Amino acid sequence: MLSFVIRRFISMIVTLWLIITLTFFLMHAVPGSPFEKDGKGLNEAVAANLNAYYNLDKPLIVQYGLYLKQLVQFDLGPSIANSSDTVNKMIARGFPVSFQLGIVSVLFAIVTGIALGVVAALRHNRLIDYIAMIIAVVGISIPSFVVASLLIKYLAVEWKLLPTATWGTWQHVIMPALALAFGPIAIIARLTRTNMLEVLTQEYIETARAKGLSPATIVIKHALRNAVLPVVTLLGALIANVLTGSFVIEKIFAIPGMGKYFVAGINNRDYSVIMGTTVFYSALLIFMMFVVDVLYGIIDPRIKFHGKESKG
Amino acid sequence: MEQRETLLEVSGLKVTFRAHGGEISAVRDVNFSLKKGETLAIVGESGCGKSVTAKSIMRLVPEHIGKIAGGSILFKGKDLAKLPEKEMQGIRGSEISMIFQDAMTSLNPTITIGEQIMEGIIRHQKVPRSEAKRQAIEILQLVGIANPESRLKQYLHQFSGGMRQRIMIAIALVCNPSILIADEPTTALDVTIQAQIIDLFKSIQQKTGVSIIIITHDLGVVAKIADRVNVMYAGKVVESGPVSDIFYNPQHPYTKGLLASMPRLDADRNIPLSPIPGTPPDLFSPPLGCAFAERCNHALEVCRNYQPEETKVHNAHAVSCWLQDPRAKKLLASTQAPTGT
């Protein structure tokens, strides 16, 4: 197990470095700089001064080296567009909000999605199954911003049950979390249903019945555990999806999360903000993948952490 | 032998399955009984209804596709064919247990062996985990697994094929059932392990007095373990009787065919095996008369049109075949006498 963790850690660092390198050079390959917007450049002398201040006048490879050096000290640098702010501060401010929203919607998606999938599988080819699968198709087809707009129209404007937008109390979390969870619910429900249907035909389910176990025990203890494995695989990517999806949702609900900074960063060609948020999200995603792999081993004991067998 | 109390009485059992284009009559009017401490073998080729008969006793025939369409299964004064599902759960695993062919797929790969043994004990005996664990260790010792205490924490993939089948047996026996149903328990095992598992069944029966219904198509297994045999064909019991009668005095042409098709170590290797030609009838529309008539060398006109009655050959030895009818015997005698030996 320990050697597995060490190997994974090294490969995580390498992955992260590749992402950083790629993003860095791609970002600089895009024409323009933070100081020229819509074709209108700044006064040349001012631009030169600013470029010198942010090291943008040095060769790209030197800038890259400087950035890596800075990154190793966990310093993501100052924001170029907003000189009074640093990227570290932005993340410290925005991430707790995004995280809270993300966690609520991911938990909601997991619980609802799995429950819907299980019920659909148990009532295979009956009304509940069809209803659940219709919900799933709808969930996959409708983008989250449409769901968000509909939620605002009904829950907030017409029925006045929840606050329309912004952030603060727990009531503010409900609508964006719902909107974010809608797609993942559909994906999880479909996946759970398919796998449940397969697991329920397995012979060990018959053995469990032959032991006289109650249907609830059979489903929860014997079937679900085996059916949920592919869902766990999906979770790493799903959590990333929820966090990136939240850019749009955060914008709609005017939530002061990280998405706002990321979008603004790209619009302003704010190099350090783009880099910082990318690095942060990548690190988060890679870490989630690692958590998923560990969960895998816990759920299915046949998957071992022997150094050579792990895919590293 | 005859004095032993009857534990299970199956009469007129009919099981049907819904399928595209109609109903399949998988079990058609099956009768048999099982005595305390006895081993009954149900033999027959694939699709003859032997597994379905066994699953019906456990009421494990999946409800959405199949149902017990008639008959009764009397066990300790209750008719299992009509018992509510809730009560049936109390009987499964505690009074009647079942083991399946392939332990690799019949045990859960993601739950420890110990948990899989203990959950039955906890469910039926309502004892604390520590007591369940003690019993689990005991039963693993009984089925011949070394170091049971540490083995409890392991998973299925850490056991060999023979060990897995022993664990299945342990799970089935842990609540001291009065009937153990084994559905092809040795088919997935290699020959030496088969022999060990058969010996294990015998020694367990001696120790616990459990009655065993063993379902198999392997007549070698039958010879080693069974007291009585039911030969099934196309959803019916065509011949039943003590194991010695079935092997040394088979009456039904199908039973004779089964015995003749068995490979023998002492047979001349140049003589090919003698299979029973043809295939079993389509149970979507079961034949009017004897289901075996189409494949039978001795079929008479009556065989195709009328169901044969069950006739007693000898005390407990019964056969359903028109050849047993006194009229048929006369007919055969008159046609065969001149050429007979």
User: What pTM did the predictor assign?
Assistant: 0.79
Q: Is the pLDDT of residue A304 over 70?
A: no
Task: Pick the closest to residue A284 from A222, A241, A228 (CA basis).
Answer: A241
Query: From the CA of B90, how many Å to the nearest CA of chain A?
Result: 6
Rounded to whole angstroms, the Cα distance separating B36 from B14 reads 24
Of A214, A217, A302, the CB nearest to B109: A302
Q: What is the pLDDT of residues B232-243, one digit of tens each?
A: 999 999 999 999
Of the pLDDT bands very low, low, confident and very high (cuts 50, 70, 90), residue B338 is very low
Q: What is the pLDDT of residues B9-59, one digit of tens each?
A: 999 999 999 888 788 889 999 999 999 999 999 998 888 899 999 999 999
- CB within 8 Å: B110 and A300: yes
Q: Does B111 touch chain A (CB under 8 A)?
A: yes
Q: What is the pLDDT of residues A249-303, one digit of tens each?
A: 888 888 888 887 888 888 888 888 888 888 888 888 888 888 888 888 788 888 7
Q: Is the pLDDT of residue A38 over 70?
A: no
The contacts found for B148-154 with CB under 8 angstroms, 24 or more apart, are B151/B113, B151/B114, B152/B112, B152/B113, B152/B114, B152/B117, B153/B112, B153/B113, B153/B114, B154/B112, B154/B113
Neighbour tally for A83: CB within 10 Å: 11
Query: From the CA of A242, how many Å to the nearest CA of chain B?
Result: 30
Nearest chain B residue to A211 by CA distance is: B93
B245 vs B63, which has greater pLDDT? B245
Percent helix / strand / coil, chain B, rounded to 5 = 40, 25, 40
Q: Is the pLDDT of residue A39 over 60?
A: no
Q: What is the pLDDT of residues B92-109, one digit of tens each?
A: 999 999 998 888 899 999
Task: Pick the closest to residue B197 from B95, B101, B54, B97 (CA basis).
Answer: B101
Contact B93, A207 (CB under 8 A): no
Q: What is the ipTM of this complex?
A: 0.85
pLDDT at position B331: 66
Contact B13, B30 (CB under 8 A): yes
Of the pLDDT bands very low, low, confident and very high (cuts 50, 70, 90), residue A41 is low
The residue-averaged pLDDT of A98-112 equals: 89
pLDDT at position B270: 81
Contact B209, B37 (CB under 8 A): yes
Q: Which residues of A touch B (CB under 8 A)?
A: 202-204, 206-214, 217, 221-222, 225-226, 299-302
pLDDT at position B335: 57
Q: Does B194 touch chain A (CB under 8 A)?
A: no
Strand partners, B22: B19
Of the pLDDT bands very low, low, confident and very high (cuts 50, 70, 90), residue B337 is very low
Coil vs helix vs strand at A287: helix
The residue-averaged pLDDT of A166-191 equals: 86
- CB within 8 Å: B89 and A213: yes
Coil vs helix vs strand at A103: helix
Residue A273: left if φ>0, alpha if ψ -120 to 50, beta else—which one? Answer: alpha
pLDDT at position B339: 42
- CB within 8 Å: A204 and B108: yes
pLDDT at position B203: 92
Chain A contact set for B124 (CB, 8 A): 212
Of A202, A212, A302, the CB nearest to B94: A212
- CB within 8 Å: A211 and B100: no
